[in-house]
Structure 1
Amino acid sequence: MMASFKAIFCGLLCLLLPDYAAAQDSAWQRGQAIYHQGSKGQAACVRCHGSRGEGREEGGLSAPALAGQADRLLLQRALLDGLGSNGLSLHPLMPRYQIDTASLDDLIAYLHVIAKDTPGLTDTLLRVGVRLPANVYGAAIQAGLSQAFDQQVYGRRLELLINPTAGQAFVEVASVQDTSRPEFQTQLQATPYPVVEADRPALIGPLPMPGIANFSDSLAPGSFPILSSMREHASALLAQAALDAPKDKAAQQLTLIYDMGNDPALPALLQELRQQARANHQSLREQIWSAKVRKPGEAVIYLGGPAGLSAMLANSGDGLVYASAIHIGPASLQLPLAQAARLRLLLPWRTSSTVFDLPGAYSDAAYASGMVLIEALKRSGRQLSRAELLQQLKQLRDLMIPGLGKISLRPGQAHASLGGQLLTVDAAHGRFTTLRSW
C-alpha cells in the first residue's frame, strides 16, 4: 500500500515539476511580451528603445538603452512616476504606465536577457570578424590584430574570424573595403551611413584596398574610421606640394593628372581641389594622364593607379610627382631609378616601423583598430551588449596609440587620426623612406 502511494506521489510530482519549472522560466518571456506589445493598452517599449534595448535618437529626442538594466527602483520610478535617475521629470512623450509588481519583475527579467543572445558573444569568448584579401596585406592585417588581441577583457578571450559569414561575429575590425566595387555602392544606398543598429556589428577602423584608384570617402554602414579619408588624402597631396615649392615664387604651378573616369567621387573632389589650390595661391591645371607637362620643374599631382604610372612619369617633365602610397606604392618600386626618384607618396597615417614597408603600415593600422576595440570593451563593462559597445565607441576621445597618435571617434566624422607620412621611393634597394611625418 505504501509503495503504491509513493508511486502515485512520484507520478504527480513529475507531472507538476515541469509546470513549476515553466512558470519559473517564463518570467522573461512574459516580460518580452510587455516590452514588444505593451501592457494594458499602453505603448510598447520597443517603439522608442529598440528591438534589443539599445536605445534610439530621433527628432532631437533620446530614448536611453535598457538592455541589462538592473536597478528596479530606477525603472519603477521611470515607468510609474515619470522621473529620471536625476530625479527630474522625463519628457512628456515617455508614457506613465500602470504596471503591477509581478509585471515589473517580468520586464526586468527580460531586460537581463534581451542582449544575451548576441551573435559572437559568450561569457568566455568574443568573436571579432575581419574581411581580408588573400595577399601580403591580408597577412599583415591579421598579424596586427593578433598582436592587439593577445589579452583577455573581463575574462573573455578574443577570437579572430577571417572573412566570417553573416551572424558569426560580434564586431568587425580593420576590414578591407573596396569602394570601387558596384556591390559596395549598392550596400551604401540600401543602408546609408550613419545608421547603426544594435543587431548589426559595427566596423572599427575600415582600411582602403591597396592598389585601387578610387578616392571615394564612402564608408560601410556603422563604420568608425580611424584613418583620414581618401578625399582628405588627395587634399593633403596639394598641401605637401606647397611645402616643397620654391619660396620665391608668388604662385606655384601645378598640373593635376587623373585617370579616374569611373570614380563617382571625382567631380566633387576636383571642385574641392580647385578651391584649395586658389586658397594656397597655386595655379592648378587639369589634364588626363597621357597629356604632357611642358614646363621644366613643374610639380604634378597624380590621381590614378599603377597601370599608367610609368607612361605618366615619362610624359610629365622633370618635376616632383605627388601620388597616393595606397594606390601605387608597390608598383613604384619597379620603376626605373630616375622615375622613382621623382615620386613623393602620401600615406594617410603614421606607422611605428623603423624600416617602412606598406604591408607593415597596414599591420600598424590594424593594431591601432584592435586597441580601439579593446579600450571600448573595457569601458563597456562585463555586462556587454552591442548597444553599450556602440555607445562607448561614440564617446571615445584622445586614446593614445603608440606610433599613430591620439584617436577620437565621433559619429559621422571622416577620420579619427590626423597623422600621415610623405615617402620617397628607393627603387635601387626596393624600399620606401619617410621624408616627413605629422
Structure 2
Amino acid sequence: MMARSCAALGVLLWMFCAGIANAADDQAWQRGQVMYHKGWNGQAACVRCHGNLGQGKEEGGLQAPPLAGKPDRQHLQRALLEGVGGNGQLLHPLMPRYHIDAAGLDDMLAYLSVIGKDTPGLTDTALRVGISLPDNVYGAAIQAGLTKAFDQVPNGVYGRKLELFVNPAPDQVFVEVASLQSGVQAASSSTIEVNRLAVIGSLPVPGLASFSDTLAQDSFHLLPSMREQVSALLAQAALYARGVASSNRATQQLTLIYDQGNDPALHVLLKELRQQARVNHQSLREQIWSAKVRQPGEAVIYMGSAANLREVLAATGEGLVYASAIHIGPASLQLPPVQAARLRLLLPWRTSSPVFDLPTAYSDAACAAGMVLIETLKRSGRQLGHAELLQQLNQLRDFTVPGFGAISFHSGQHYGSSGGQLLAVDVEHGIFKVLRRW
C-alpha cells in the first residue's frame, strides 16, 4: 500500500515538474523570438538578414544562411560572439558581433528550434487564409464575400498575396476567417503548440439554435454576443408593446417561450434577461414550450429551434413573434404568408441592401471579416507573426466597414459590433425586408 502511494506521489511530482519545464521552455523561445525580431540590447535584429522564418535571404548583395532547426550551441555562440562560422572561417563583417550572455544564448537556441513552426501558412510572398465551410449555398456565399474583400488588395499586403484555403488542415494556414462556427473548433484545436491560430469573424450556422457566448481565447467575432442580441429583441418587443398597450398601463407584458430547457448556456442568458426586464419595467412571463399566451395580441419572444415555429405562431394568437433570423430564418420562408407576416426577426449585423436573402447577408458579413483581416495585417507590419496579429486585433477601435458598421476589439472583449436589423419576412419573394437598423 505504501509502495503504491509513493509511486502515485512520484507520478504527480513528475507531472508537476514536467508542467513547470514546459512553461519554462515556452518562456525561453518567446524571449528568443523577441531577440530575433527586435535585436539584442539595440544591436541589429536577426530577422533583417535571415528572414521571418529563419530561411535566410539576400541582403545588401550577400546571401544570409538559414538558421531554422537546432543549431549546435557552440557553433551559434562562436557565430554570435566571435563572428566565426561553423567551418572555422570568419563571417562577413556585416554580421554583427553580439554581446549576448549565456541565458540569452539559451533563449535564442530555443527559438531557432521552433522558428517557422510558429508561423504556418506564412512565406515572404504569400499568406494562407483558412476558411471552414459546408458545400451549400451559404458556404458559396461566404467564400464569395471573403474573395470580394481580398480582391481589394490584388497585390496582397506588404507583398504577400492572400491565398484562400477551404477546409484546410490546421497547420496549413496562418489565420482562419469567416468560417461557420461548426468548423472553427477544429481549427482552434490546432496541433501547432508554438503559437495559437487566430480566428476572425466566425459566423453562426443558419438554422441552428445556439445560446452560448463562450469564445476561444483567440477568436474575434464581428457580431454582437447572444446577450446583446436577445437584449435587442426585448427592446424591440417593448416598442411594440407601447404601441398596443393602453396609456395607463405601467408594465409591459411580454411572453418568453423557449424549448431547450436543458441548455446551460440558455439558462445563463435567461438570468440576464430577467434582470433587464425588471430595469425596463417589463413583466416577462416565461414558458417552456408548449403553452399559449394569456392575452390576445401579446408580444412573444421565441428562443428556440425552427422545429416548433409553426406551432408557436399558431398558439400565440395575433400578436407579433420576435425571434432570431439565424436560428429560424431559413424556416421562416416556408411558412404560410399569414403566419410569416407576424414574425419579426433580428439579424445581428447590417447588410448592404434594405431587401436581401440570407445567403447575401452572410456574404456581406464574410466581406467585413476579410476587411478586418486586411486592416490588421496592414497595422502589424512586414515582420509578421501571430503575436503581432493578435496585438493589432486587440487594439482595433472603431474600424468602419461600409454597409456593416464600426468594429472594435480590446483585450477581454472579442465581440466586435453591437449593430443589427429588425426584419420582416416576404414569403412570396423568398426575401427579408429591413424594418429598422441600429
Shift of 1:230: 2.0
Given the two structures, how large is their TM-score scaled by the length of structure 2? 0.74
Q: In the alignment, which residue of structure 2 is the partner of 1:159? A: 163
Q: Secondary structure at the match of 1:69?
A: helix
Shift of 1:101: 3.5
Shift of 1:124: 0.7
- CA–CA separation in structure 2 for the residues paired with 1:160 and 1:355: 29
- CA–CA separation in structure 1 for the residues paired with 2:194 and 2:348: 30
- CA–CA separation in structure 1 for the residues paired with 2:113 and 2:370: 28
Inter-CA distance 120–418: structure 2 relative to 1 (3 Å threshold): same
Q: Secondary structure at the match of 1:246?
A: helix
Q: In the alignment, which residue of structure 2 is the partner of 1:371? A: 371
- CA–CA separation in structure 2 for the residues paired with 1:432 and 1:67: 54
- CA–CA separation in structure 2 for the residues paired with 1:398 and 1:236: 21
Inter-CA distance 178–316: structure 2 relative to 1 (3 Å threshold): farther
Shift of 1:115: 4.4
Shift of 1:236: 1.4
Map 1:180-259; keep pairs closer than 5 Å.
Answer: 199-246=195-242, 248=247, 249-259=249-259
Q: Secondary structure at the match of 2:145?
A: helix
**Is contact 2:357-2:430 (8 Å) kept?**
no
- CA–CA separation in structure 2 for the residues paired with 1:65 and 1:416: 29
- CA–CA separation in structure 2 for the residues paired with 1:256 and 1:336: 23
Q: In the alignment, which residue of structure 2 is the partner of 1:74? A: 42
Percent sequence identity over aligned pairs: 62
Shift of 1:68: 4.2
- CA–CA separation in structure 1 for the residues paired with 2:187 and 2:291: 36
Shift of 1:355: 2.6
Deviation track 1:361-385 (CA, whole Å, cap 9, x = no partner) reads 1111111111111111111111111
Q: In the alignment, which residue of structure 1 is the partner of 2:316? A: 316
Shift of 1:322: 0.3
Shift of 1:429: 2.2
Q: Which region of structure 1 is more displaced relative to structure 2, 106-115 or 428-437?
A: 106-115
- CA–CA separation in structure 1 for the residues paired with 2:415 and 2:172: 27
Q: Secondary structure at the match of 1:323?
A: strand
Q: In the alignment, which residue of structure 2 is the partner of 1:119? A: 120
Deviation track 1:261-313 (CA, whole Å, cap 9, x = no partner) reads 34221221111111111111111111122211131110000001110000110
**Is contact 1:52-1:199 (8 Å) kept?**
no
Paired positions, count: 356
**Is contact 2:218-2:390 (8 Å) kept?**
no
> Which amino acid counterpart does residue 218 of structure 1 have in structure 2?
T
Inter-CA distance 51–326: structure 2 relative to 1 (3 Å threshold): farther
> Which amino acid counterpart does residue 243 of structure 1 have in structure 2?
L
> Which amino acid counterpart does residue 226 of structure 2 have in structure 1?
M
- CA–CA separation in structure 2 for the residues paired with 1:387 and 1:67: 14
Q: In the alignment, which residue of structure 2 is the partner of 1:149? A: 150
Given the two structures, how large is their TM-score scaled by the length of structure 1? 0.74
Shift of 1:325: 0.2
**Is contact 1:255-1:285 (8 Å) kept?**
yes
Inter-CA distance 65–416: structure 2 relative to 1 (3 Å threshold): farther
- Aligned-residue Cα RMSD (Å) equals 3.1
Q: In the alignment, which residue of structure 1 is the partner of 2:137? A: 136
> Which amino acid counterpart does residue 397 of structure 1 have in structure 2?
R
Q: Secondary structure at the match of 1:373?
A: helix
- CA–CA separation in structure 1 for the residues paired with 2:229 and 2:143: 24
Inter-CA distance 104–372: structure 2 relative to 1 (3 Å threshold): farther
Which runs of 5 or more residues in structure 1 are unaligned?
1-43, 56-63, 77-98
Deviation track 1:71-97 (CA, whole Å, cap 9, x = no partner) reads 444269xxxxxxxxxxxxxxxxxxxxx
The match for 2:177 among 165, 173, 177 is: 173
- CA–CA separation in structure 2 for the residues paired with 1:235 and 1:178: 25
Inter-CA distance 238–49: structure 2 relative to 1 (3 Å threshold): same
- CA–CA separation in structure 2 for the residues paired with 1:215 and 1:51: 40
Inter-CA distance 177–51: structure 2 relative to 1 (3 Å threshold): farther
> Which amino acid counterpart does residue 207 of structure 1 have in structure 2?
L
**Is contact 2:241-2:253 (8 Å) kept?**
no
Inter-CA distance 255–197: structure 2 relative to 1 (3 Å threshold): farther
Q: In the alignment, which residue of structure 1 is the partner of 2:410? A: 410
